[in-house]
Amino acid sequence: MTRLQPVRGTRDLIGEEARRFLHVVRLFERLAESWGFDPIATPIFEFTPLFARTLGEASDVVTKEMYSFTDRSGDSLTLRPEYTAGIARAWISNGLATSGIGRFYAWGPMFRHERPQKGRYRQFHQLDVEIIGSDSPLADAELIALGHELLTMLGVADGVTLHINSLGTPGCRARYREALVAYLRAHDTQLSPDSRMRLERNPLRILDSKDEGDRRIVARAPKLGDFLDEEARAFYARVKDELARLAIPFQEDPYLVRGLDYYTHTAFEFITDRLGAQGTVLGGGRYDGLIEQLGGPATPGVGWAAGIERLAMLLTETPAPDPAIALIPLGSRAEGRVLALARDLRRAGLRALFDYRGSLKKRMGRAAKAGARYAVIFGDDELAREAVTVKDLARQSQESVPLAALVDWLKSRLATREE
């Protein structure tokens, strides 16, 4: 019989890994809400042309990595490889252009058929935030600050470096592209095969090539910063000034680029050396031309995405669950009360669990293994007195507690233990 295994590049999240994953998600949700962002949920698949237009027809994602299929209606659909395109489409198709500035957050699975590697899978998960409708450099600085705050609250900021660059306006970017192509053509025989193909299709992507030969050539290439016009320089300076005011350290990186024309002004990435070569844990930038390219009105936008798996891998400690209360009913009468008692504890914010069968010894063993702090034991004798026996599994002590006082008794003891 064939063993059942997950599809290559996918995995199950269980136990400690699941807790790390959800810790990242829950902290992100709390932060995004407190920063004034609204939740958004877009479909897990879209019409294929949406991603082909936003990611570039010749990009590796579109030509090699997208999970595309034809449905029964004959439409070509694609599992989303990233968030921004779907959110931009939602902005247009829901008529949000007249609603002012949109501030959105989301998280969920993405799909790319690429070689599985540390922290990146064929089904992976991302956090995402977007500000749509603002052309202010303050929006860029705010989103970078939100990313920094997330990393700080996760306890991983010390091992991560913020890289920033300006991609300029479309005009200065076009002038830079012309100069870059002229320089690279003079060295095309020394470029890697991938970069020679990119020279024709998307030359700016050569700047972030990992090939050592390419990197030596790029090191002498023209710098985009030398081609910035007055508008772009002022925008970039304001972003850097705001980061300095917030005491967020950054490193200017002239080789940090985005290959498509709708990207403008700020590009940024938070990078770590703790995950090997795939070191970007959060990245984004401004995409003022995207919504217009999709057929909507000219609308500025800026956003970032972060890999949940990568952030979870950086955590040094697994977040501990709240202390559990194990309910151990003994006998049919007690079992008839256990659901109501568990509900009362849960409504009070306590984490209650119980087994459906087994001897007292086995249930106590499973309660300890589940990390329960207290075991609440009750049978016919206890119920006749409207009381329960509460055992402190850490101290191996126990006492009788009236049922009516149980919730307050447990909450006070747990509060004392936390102090």
CATH of the domain at 93: 3.30.930.10
CA atoms within 13 A on the CB side of 105: 19
b/e per residue 352-369 (b: at least 16 CB within 10 A): bbbbeeeeeeebbebbee
pTM, two decimals, is: 0.89
Question: Please, which residues have CB within 8 angstroms of residue 123's CB and are 6 or more apart in sequence?
Answer: 9, 10, 109, 110, 111
- On whether both 375 and 240 belong to a single domain, the answer is no
Residue 358 maps to a domain:
yes
| SS3 at position 129 | strand
End of a domain among 264, 289, 314? 314
Same domain, 117 and 51: yes
Q: Give yes or no for residue 325 having a pLDDT over 80.
A: yes
Q: For residues 156 and 277, state if they share a domain.
A: yes
Do 288 and 135 form a contact (C-beta atoms < 8 A)?
Answer: yes
Any idea of the CA torsion for 17, 34, 127, 265, to the nearest 10 degrees?
-150
pLDDT tens digits, one per residue of 160-180: 999 999 999 988 888 988 998
Whether 147 and 264 map to the same domain: the answer is: yes
pLDDT in tens, 344-372: 999 999 999 988 888 888 988 898 888 89
Closest of 97, 81, 103, 88 to residue 37, by C-alpha: 103
Q: Angle at which helices 137-154 and 230-245 pack, to 10 degrees?
A: 30
| Both tokens assigned to 171 | 């005009």
Distances 58 to 45, 62, 200, 289 between C-alpha atoms, Å: 20, 7, 10, 19
CB 124 within 8 A of CB 309: yes
The tally of domains found in the chain comes to: 2
322 versus 311: the higher-pLDDT residue is 311
* 208 inside domain: no
Helix (H, G, I), strand (E, B) or coil at 301: strand
Question: Can you tell me the distance from the alpha carbon of 270 to that of 171, in angstroms, rounded to the nearest whole number?
Answer: 27
Q: How far apart are CA 150 and CA 90, in angstroms?
A: 26
CA–CA–CA angle 104, 44, 281 (5° rounding):
60
Task: Give percent of the chain above pLDDT 70.
Answer: 96
Q: What is the pLDDT of residues 270-315, one digit of tens each?
A: 999 887 665 899 999 999 999 999 999 999 999 999 999 999 999 9
Of 314, 343, 362, the residue at which a domain comes to its end is 314
User: Which of 157-166, 196-205, 332-341 is least confident?
Assistant: 196-205
Structural domain for 122, as ranges: 16-169+229-314
Specify if 27 maps to a domain: yes
